[in-house]
Amino acid sequence: MADQSAAPLLIDLTDQPIDVAAVLHAAESDEAGAVNAFIGTVRNRSEGRRVMRLHYEAYPPMALHQLRRVAEMALEKWPMLRKVAVSHRHGTLEIGDVAVVVAVSTPHRADSFAACEYIIDTLKEVVPIWKKEEYEDGTVWVAAHP
Amino acid sequence: MNLTVSLFGIAREIVGQPSLTLTAPAGQSAAGLLAELRTAYPALAGLRSLAVAVNNEYAAANVELHERDEIALIPPVSGG
């Protein structure tokens, strides 16, 4: 069992729709006056082209491990973090679907904004999940080329 | 020794299969593996980045690979 005195983490990778309320709930703490969340959704345009849907491919064991590492790095930078909850979707997502939810709680709001931003920014740099955009006339792996 | 390399995203599409098994000299490094793969599949050299992961961690260039390691090629990530 994890040490319950440490800030608990919810780390999830799923091919099912993300229950946003459940992720927010997982970040709540009686010791926190602030819960901050980032919700990433699938938008219908990318660099001027109409996006039909997105395909997320993950390397699950490493993605979960690296997600946990990102959360642990946030806990080192913001020791006042009470809870961290991250859920990332993979598979095929339609426009408007929720791709990722990051939720954190801290006693005061400034830390929770900062920690939440750090987690989503770092996640996008290191967690092995790949996004393929599907247009009307083809597909492109996002960020693959210079 | 034989190494098995898992492939994802655009790297899987470039190579045309989800994993590769290749024969490597003992002491082969992560950088050595990358060089070999870029020679075999020149399109890999056109990617913005390409990392080697060993047992779920990003491997430094000089990390030595072993037969039982879980090795993966990590093209530029784009989650979130």
pLDDT tens figures, A49-59: 999 999 999 99
- Whether A123 shows a pLDDT value over 80: the answer reads yes
Name residue B29's beta-bridge partners. Answer: B64
3-state SS, B3-63, equals EEEEECHHHHHHHCCCEEEEECCCCCEHHHHHHHHHHHCHHHHHCCCCEEEECCEECCCCC
Is the Cβ pair A144, B9 closer than 8 Å? yes
Residues of chain A positioned with their CB less than 8 A from the CB of B9:
57, 130, 132, 141, 144
Among the partner residues A62, A127, A145, nearest to B46 by beta-carbon distance: A145
Q: What pLDDT shows up at residue A47?
A: 87
Contact A120, A101 (CB under 8 A): no
Give all strands (DSSP E) within chain B, no chain letters: 2-7, 19-23, 51-54, 57-58, 71-74
- The mean pLDDT value for A129-146 works out to 96
A138 touches B at CB < 8 Å: no
Distance from CA of B27 to the nearest CA of A (A): 24
Q: What is the mean pLDDT of residues A38-49?
A: 95
Task: Give the pLDDT band (50/70/90) at residue B9.
Answer: very high
Contact yes or no for B75 and A100 at CB 8 A? no
pLDDT of residue A3: 42
Which chain B residues contact residue A63 at CB under 8 A?
79
Contact A141 B78 (CB under 8 A): yes
Percentage of chain A modeled with pLDDT above 90: 92
- pLDDT over 80 (residue B42): yes
**Interface contact A53, partner B, CB < 8 A:** no
Alpha-carbon distances, residue A59 vs A19, A49, A114, A117, B16 (angstroms): 22, 28, 27, 23, 17
Q: What is the pLDDT of residues A66-107, one digit of tens each?
A: 999 999 999 999 999 999 999 999 999 999 999 999 999 999
The verdict on B22 touching A (C-beta cutoff 8 Å) is no
Residues A83, A28: Cα–Cα separation, whole Å: 7
Q: Is the pTM of this model over 0.90?
A: yes
Is the CB of residue B50 less than 8 Å away from at least one CB of chain A?
Answer: no
pLDDT at A1 over 70: no
Q: Note whether A61 contacts B: Cβ–Cβ < 8 A.
A: yes
Instruction: Write out chain A residues lying below 8 Å of B58, CB-based.
Output: 126
Bridge partners of residue B10, in order along the sequence: none
Q: Under an 8 A CB cutoff, do A131 and B78 touch?
A: yes
pLDDT interval class at A6 (50, 70, 90): low
Select from A9, A106, A91, A85 the least CA-distant residue to A42: A91
Give the percent of chain A with pLDDT over 70: 95
Arithmetic mean of pLDDT, B40-56: 97
Query: Which residues in chain A are closer than 8 Å to B72, comparing Cβ atoms?
Result: 59, 62, 128
Share of chain B above pLDDT 90, in %: 100
Q: Does the distance separating the beta carbons of A130 and B10 come in below 8 Å?
A: yes
pLDDT of residue A7: 57
**Partner-chain contact B10 A144, CB within 8 Å:** yes
Span B32-61, average pLDDT: 97
Any residues with CB less than 8 A from the CB of A78 and at least 6 apart, and which? A106, A111, A114, A115, A118
Q: What is the predicted pLDDT for the residue at A8?
A: 74
A134 close to A55: Cβ distance less than 8 angstroms: yes
* Nearest residue to B74 (alpha-carbon basis) of B20, B13, B9: B9
Amino acid symbol at A30: D
- CA A111 from chain centre, in angstroms, equals 18
| Tokens describing residue A5 | 């005195």
Q: What is the mean pLDDT of residues A121-134?
A: 97
Q: What whole-number distance in Å separates Cα of residue B33 and Cα of residue B61? A: 9
Binning pLDDT at 50, 70 and 90, where does residue A2 land?
very low
pLDDT of residue A26: 96
Name the packing angle between helices A109-126 and A60-77 (round to 10°). 150
Is 70 exceeded by the pLDDT of residue A5? Answer: no
